[in-house]
Amino acid sequence: MKCRRAAAFTLIELLVVIAIIAILAAILFPVFSRAREKARQTSCLSNIRQLGLAWLMYAEDYDEMACQSYYFMGGFRWEYAWDFILDWGAPNPPAYEFGLLGPYTKNGQINQCPSFHGVTWGRPYTGYAYNATYIGGDVFAGLPACSLGQIQDPAGTAILTEGGFGNPVMAQNYLRAPSDPLFVAGKVHFRHNGTANVAYADGHAKAATHKYRYNPGEPECGALSEDDSAYDLQ
């Protein structure tokens, strides 16, 4: 009887298979990564749209006045902000409650972008920033919150977007227009494959793809417009 050789891969065949798998992985992993980030962007857009609607409901309940960005009580111990009320006198991390928009969302985690994991400055959830230059006002700068009637182009005025600054990117929850001296720490974070979700004063939300005021030192951050036109009341 003839001996039949057992079927098996040769070393060369194994190396070829491994090389093919490596090539496929190199091709497909970026595709999977982009698809995963696209799903996160969709979830983030839902969050920021709900925050924008909560902002409108707040204004309806307060004689069409926009929610304040922040103010302090108790000798700066308590920070009352649009996203959270923080007790800075508590042991680290600071104790918190839902912020000024909290009664309309009833969910603190809605303030968390699923793609953001940077420094949060004591906030339990973060990722979004509220227009403090023109809409919510700035207590320290003597700027009051605006009324809805002052916003001449609601569909083109950003109220909330994805905030961040620096490299690596750190959180910021007070959005600043390019002319604002605090713009350096109040930029937009284009974190979703080069796009940033934005909620507008008329209630709609969409992704912004054009990054203005680009700085190579902060490749993921920028502005929504070269001037203040995407932020102001005109």
Query: Confidence class of residue 6 from pLDDT cuts 50, 70 and 90?
Result: low
Give the type of residue at 26: A
pLDDT reported for residue 102: 95
Average pLDDT over residues 184-195: 96
pLDDT digits (tens, 9 = 90+) for 89-105: 988 888 999 999 999 99
- Look at the alpha carbons of 71, 76, 79, 80 in this order and tell me if their dihedral is positive or negative: negative
Residue 114 within any structural domain of the chain: yes
89 part of a folded domain? no
Per-position DSSP letters for 41-80, written without gaps between them: HHHHHHHHHHHHHHHHHHHHHTTTBPPPSEEEETTTTEEE
In a domain, 185, yes or no: yes
| pTM for the model | 0.85
Q: pLDDT at position 8, please? A: 64
Number of domains in the chain: 1
Instruction: Tell me, yes or no, whether 43 lies in a domain.
Output: yes
Residue 193 inside a domain? The answer is yes
Burial class (CB in 10 A: 0-12, 13-18, 19+), 202: middle
Question: Can you give the pLDDT at residue 165?
Answer: 97
Predicted pLDDT of residue 218: 96
pLDDT value at residue 29: 58
126 within a domain of the structure (yes/no): yes
Which 3 state secondary structure label does DSSP give 183?
Answer: helix
Q: Would you say residue 9 has pLDDT above 80?
A: no
What's residue 19's pLDDT? 79
**136: containing domain:** 12-66+105-222
Residue 213 lies in a domain: yes
Rounded CA gap, 114 and 37, in Å?
9
209 lies in some domain: yes
User: Is residue 1 very low, low, confident or very high in pLDDT (cuts 50, 70, 90)?
Assistant: very low
